[in-house]
Amino acid sequence: MKTRSKLIAVAIAAAFAPAASFATNGYAPHGQGVKAQGMGGVATALPQDTISAATNPANLAFVGDRLDVGLTWFRPQREAQICNNFGLNPLGCESFDGNGKENFFIPDFGWSKVINPNLSAGVVVYGNGGLNTQYDSGIPLFADPRAFGQQTAGVDLMQLFIAPTVAFKPAPNHSIGVSLNIVYERFKAEGLQNFTLVPPFSPFPFPFSESPDSVTNKGYDGAWGWGLRLGWTGEVAPGLMFGASYQTKTWMENLDKYKGLFAGQGDFSVPQNGSIGVSWKATPALTLAADIQWIDYEQIDAIANPIQNLTEQGNLLGSSSGPGFGWESMTIYKFGVAFDVNPQWTLRAGYSYASQPIPSSQTLFNILAPATIEQHLTLGATWKIDPKQELSFAYMHAFENEVNGSGSIPALFGGGEANIKMYQDSLGISYGYKF
């Protein structure tokens, strides 16, 4: 018991370590847990480990007594380009590298216990994703180096979920689960001084923000919040499972240090989302699975409000209708396959496709958050060390995708276009122990 308690304590401590951005489907990860990551993110109807409860809490009833601890190395490559801007380069383009920080490590942890044949309980701790850019040369439209000197520009957002979970079996092959999502997020922004200017020190006859002292260079601010995730998993025929999951909006405290940046006086809540999935054990060795996921980014003003709210309607940064990133809601299609080569080895592969959240008219502010990825290709494997222990691995490549601006830089900022692009790689490893 002492050894087990120490393992759990160490795993939770690791999961609380500063987690980095995992912006790949918008700012959400392509999958939770290394096994799911190796299958294109599929997990809604595929209870492979405790971390699958982060996607569907009902899965916890099918995984038994076990512990899972994982770590994923994540490397996004971000770039922006400003073209034909009157104040910067009227007849050409200038490129900016957003990779001042490019290596991130994201931990996860899950533990489950069968209370009785119909009831299981546990906890899952994981990074929900985030955003990160670091332009070491600054962005002249956001902070003029001539006025402020060399300025690093960028943002850093992290969201950590702590999800106590229970799953109940109303019938032998069906489960209903619920997670209480306790969420901590932290955020900082740098190099946005142009949005803090007010008359008579501004070239414009009006301020950009209703709280200009709470826009940028305030260090990290943190906020807590909560929400719920509900799910169902059921085996409707031998080897054929269906699942469905829904997460409510997660209501967050305001980020007061940045109440002059985010719409709603610093509100950056987590949007509602849901998924449906199916898995089919086509042969004793072969499993096929698919998910459809929906993320309602349009529900959160700081994410969804377009830049036109400022430039055409006069709603200042930080106000209830202030501008945001202009994202649209996303639908993601995920496909995965797993094959048991022998009793010791399982191989996995997957693919996912997501609708683009960033319209071409909204690329200017998304220089700070170029979440342009649409396609992922993944590979994975599990090595069963013995009947109780296993190691799993996953590799993901998110293909480079570029969103070219169209009417993206308002005349207020000198006109022209902002183009953004990104590609990503990740490599994960996890340890599983069956009690």
Q: Among the residues of 52-204, which ranges form H helices? A: 145-148
Tell me which of 292-306, 309-323, 325-339 is least confident. Answer: 309-323
Task: Tell me whether the omega of the peptide bond preceding residue 172 falls within 30 degrees of 0, making it cis.
Answer: no
Contact of 371 with 26, CB cutoff 8 Å? yes
The HSE-up count of residue 111 (CA atoms within 13 Å, CB side) is 14
| pLDDT tens figures, 162-214 | 999 999 999 999 999 999 999 999 999 999 999 998 887 776 777 899 999 99
CB-CB neighbours of 277 under 10 Å: 24
CATH of the domain at 345: 2.40.160.60
Q: Mean pLDDT for the chain? A: 92
Q: Identify the domain containing residue 264 by its residue range.
A: 2-434
Q: What is the pTM (predicted TM-score) of this model? A: 0.93
Tell me which of 22-31, 255-264, 359-368, 387-396 is least confident. Answer: 22-31
Say whether pLDDT at 7 is over 70: no
- Using the Cα atoms of residue 314, residue 316, residue 321 and residue 326 in order, give the sign of their dihedral: positive
Number of domains in the chain: 1
Q: Give the mean pLDDT of 61-76.
A: 97
Compute the chain's Rg from CA coordinates: 22
The pLDDT assigned to 4 comes to 46
Say whether pLDDT at 149 is over 70: no
CB-CB neighbours of 11 under 10 Å: 21
The share of the chain scoring above pLDDT 70, in percent, equals 93
